[in-house]
Amino acid sequence: MNSTQMVQYIKQHHNPDLHQDYLDHINTYSKFELQDVALSTVKSDLPGLDEQKVETYKQLDFNCAPPIVIGDGYIIDGYHRANVAQALNITSITAWVGV
């Protein structure tokens, strides 16, 4: 998936009004590849994480949830899903990884 397709993907699953800094970060990658990623290698800290959303997301079927998007070990989209996976002792997750 190229960066333009990734922007559309995130707008579909996240927010159609993405901040320019967010878009600039995505566009630093020429493409994104779907990979299994060890959660221990991902920086998933997010100040102000919505704990109620985390509790709701614990009911997700991770096989059906949109994959997390990662660039250089940082989450671009999917902080809540990554934190839920860690809370459920899931060690790896499918993610789009910027390359």
Which CATH number does the domain housing residue 31 bear? 3.90.1530.10
Q: What is the DSSP letter of 66?
A: P
Residues 83 and 94 sit within 8 Å (Cβ to Cβ)? no
| Paired tokens of 43 | 């920086």
pLDDT along the chain (99 residues), means of 10: 92 83 91 93 83 83 79 87 88 92
Per-residue pLDDT at 65:
75
Residues 68 and 77 sit within 8 Å (Cβ to Cβ)? yes
Domain count across the chain: 1
Distance between CA atoms of residues 25 and 3, nearest Å: 10
Per-residue pLDDT at 45:
81
Per-residue pLDDT at 5:
94
Collapsing DSSP states into helix, strand and coil, what is residue 60?
coil
The label of the residue with tokens 């070990």 reads: 73
Domain that holds residue 37: 3-98
The label of the residue with tokens 């960066």 reads: 3
